[in-house]
Amino acid sequence: MRNNRVVTVTAISGLLALGAAGLASHAVAADDVEKCYGVVKAGQNDCQTANSSCAGTSKVDGQGDAWVYLPAGTCEKIVGGSLEPKA
């Protein structure tokens, strides 16, 4: 069970890193990105949530209302990813 969690967290981290690298490497049109909720590591969210006021202030991994910008079409491919905030 623990190994599955490690593999999942590693995979999500890798996808987020690739997404961030892709966004940083060139200008991306607003239509090419989407907010992805529920996949952000604690302290790595892009903007405010219902429970925190600034970017980088989410309290727990996978916080349902914390989001990060990802290339369009990526979020729903990530386990736990959602285009809408989670309760």
* pLDDT (mean) for 3-7: 65
Q: Is residue 39 within 8 Å of 76, Cβ to Cβ? A: no
Residue 84 included in any domain: no
Question: Residue 15's domain spans which residues?
Answer: 2-77
Taking alpha carbons only, the member of 22, 32, 23, 34 closest to residue 78 is 34
How many of the other CB atoms lie within 10 Å of CB of 17?
10
Residue 86 included in any domain: no
Check residue 32 and give its pLDDT.
Answer: 92
Residue 25 included in any domain: yes
> Given its phi and psi angles, is residue 82 left (phi above 0), alpha (psi -120 to 50 degrees) or beta?
beta
Domains: count for the chain: 1
pLDDT tens track for 10-69: 667 666 665 655 555 455 566 799 999 999 898 888 887 777 677 888 888 988 888 899
Say whether pTM exceeds 0.75. no
Q: Where does residue 20 rank: exposed (0-12), middle (13-18), buried (19+ CB within 10 A)?
A: middle
Check residue 72 and give its pLDDT.
Answer: 95
* pLDDT (mean) for 65-80: 92
Check residue 70 and give its pLDDT.
Answer: 93
